[in-house]
Chain A
Amino acid sequence: MLTMKSESKGLIANGVSLCSGCGLELAARIILDVLGTNTVIVIPPGCAALFSGYGSETVTKLAGFQGNLENTAAYASGIKAGFEMQGRGDIQVLGLAGDGATVDIGLQSLSGALERGDKILYICYDNEAYMNTGIQSSGSTPLSAWTTTTPGGKPVYRKDMLGIVAAHKIPYAASASVGYVDDLRRKVEKARTATATGPAYLHVHVPCPTGWGIKPAQAIEVAKLAVQSRYWPLYEVVDGEEYKLTVPVSKPKPVAEYLRLQKRFAGVNAQQLDVLQSAVDHEYASLMKKML
Chain B
Amino acid sequence: MSSRILTDGNGAASLGLKLARIRVVSAYPITPQSPISEKLADYVVDGTLDAKYIRVESEHSAMSCAIGAQLTGVRAGTATSSVGLALMHEVLGVAAGCRIPIVMPVVNRSLVSPWSLWCDHQDSMAERDGGWMQLYAESAQEVLDLILIAYRTSEDARIQLPTMVCLDGFFLSHMSDAIFLPDQDTVDSFLPPYVSHNFHLDPDDPMFINDLTPTSEFTEMRYQQAVAFDKAPEVLAEVMADFQKTFGREYSLTEAYRCDDAEAVIVTLGSMSGTGKYTVDLLREQGKRVGILKITSFRPFPAEQIKSALANVGTVGVIDRSAGFGAQVGPVATEVRATLRGKPVQGFIAGLAGRDISPAVFKKAFTRLLDNETTEHVEWLDLKEDALTLREVRS
Is A112 an interface position by the 8 A CB rule?
A: yes
Is B225 an interface position by the 8 A CB rule?
A: no
Binds A, one of B153-161, B208-216, B297-305: B208-216
Distance in angstroms between the alpha carbons of A116 and B24 in the assembled complex: 15
Contacts of B69 in A (CB 8 A): 78-79, 81-82, 85
Query: Which B residues, 32 to 46, have Cβ-Cβ distances below 8 Å to chain A?
Result: none
Q: How large is the interface on A (under 10, 10 to 19, 20 to 34, 35 or more residues)?
A: 35 or more
Distance in angstroms between the alpha carbons of A77 and B56 in the assembled complex: 9
Is B94 an interface position by the 8 A CB rule?
A: yes
Is B52 an interface position by the 8 A CB rule?
A: yes
Given the interface pairs A63-B201, A71-B61, the reply to whether A84 lies near B208 with Cβ below 8 Å is: no
Contacts of A75 in B (CB 8 A): 64-65, 67-68
Is B66 an interface position by the 8 A CB rule?
A: yes
Distance in angstroms between the alpha carbons of A44 and B252 in the assembled complex: 41
Distance in angstroms between the alpha carbons of A63 and B207 in the assembled complex: 5
Query: Which B residues, 258 to 298, have Cβ-Cβ distances below 8 Å to chain A?
Result: none
A78 x B68 contact (CB < 8 A): yes
Binds A, one of B70-78, B163-171, B241-249: B70-78
Interface of chain A: mostly helix, strand, loop or mixed: mixed
Give the nearest-CB partner of B51 in chain A. A85
Distance in angstroms between the alpha carbons of A131 and B70 in the assembled complex: 32
Contacts of A204 in B (CB 8 A): none
Among candidates A38, A49, A70, A86, residue contacting B60 with C-beta atoms closer than 8 Å: A70
Contacts of A53 in B (CB 8 A): 208, 211-212
Given the interface pairs A108-B58, A109-B61, the reply to whether A82 lies near B206 with Cβ below 8 Å is: no
B55 x A116 contact (CB < 8 A): yes
Among candidates B54, B212, B213, residue contacting A81 with C-beta atoms closer than 8 Å: B54
Query: Which A residues, 40 to 82, have Cβ-Cβ distances below 8 Å to chain B?
Result: 40, 42, 49, 52-56, 58, 60-68, 70-71, 73-82
Count of A-B contacts judged by CB separation below 8 Å: 161
Contacts of B203 in A (CB 8 A): 37-40, 62-63, 91
Given the interface pairs A85-B74, A116-B55, the reply to whether A65 lies near B210 with Cβ below 8 Å is: yes
Contacts of A109 in B (CB 8 A): 57-58, 60-61, 64
Is B26 an interface position by the 8 A CB rule?
A: yes
Contacts of A76 in B (CB 8 A): 68
Is B129 an interface position by the 8 A CB rule?
A: no
Query: Which A residues, 88 to 125, have Cβ-Cβ distances below 8 Å to chain B?
Result: 88, 91, 108-109, 111-112, 115-116, 118
Q: How large is the interface on B (under 10, 10 to 19, 20 to 34, 35 or more residues)?
A: 35 or more
Is A2 an interface position by the 8 A CB rule?
A: yes
Among candidates A52, A64, A82, A91, residue contacting B74 with C-beta atoms closer than 8 Å: A82
Closest chain B CB from A49 CB (angstroms): 7
A82 x B57 contact (CB < 8 A): no
B54 x A82 contact (CB < 8 A): no
Distance in angstroms between the alpha carbons of A170 and B302 in the assembled complex: 51
Query: Which B residues, 12 to 55, have Cβ-Cβ distances below 8 Å to chain A?
Result: 23-24, 26, 50-52, 54-55
Give the nearest-CB partner of B26 in chain A. A78
Distance in angstroms between the alpha carbons of A63 and B73 in the assembled complex: 14
B76 x A82 contact (CB < 8 A): yes
Closest chain B CB from A50 CB (angstroms): 9
Contacts of B61 in A (CB 8 A): 71, 73-74, 77, 108-109, 112
Is B202 an interface position by the 8 A CB rule?
A: yes
Is A83 an interface position by the 8 A CB rule?
A: yes
Q: Which of A53, A70, A85, A91 has the most CB of B within 10 A?
A: A85
Closest chain B CB from A199 CB (angstroms): 13
Given the interface pairs A66-B208, A79-B201, the reply to whether A74 lies near B90 with Cβ below 8 Å is: no
Give the nearest-CB partner of B213 in chain A. A55
A-B contact pairs, 21 of them (CB 8 A): A2-B206, A52-B208, A52-B210, A52-B211, A63-B205, A63-B208, A64-B209, A65-B68, A67-B94, A68-B64, A71-B60, A77-B54, A77-B61, A78-B69, A79-B201, A81-B54, A81-B65, A82-B69, A109-B60, A112-B57, A116-B55
Q: Which residues of A contact B (CB under 8 A)?
A: 1-2, 37-40, 42, 49, 52-56, 58, 60-68, 70-71, 73-86, 88, 91, 108-109, 111-112, 115-116, 118
Known: A65-B201, A81-B68, A109-B64. 18 other contacts (CB 8 A): A39-B203, A52-B211, A54-B213, A55-B211, A55-B214, A58-B208, A63-B205, A66-B211, A67-B210, A68-B64, A71-B60, A78-B64, A78-B65, A81-B24, A81-B69, A82-B68, A82-B76, A112-B61
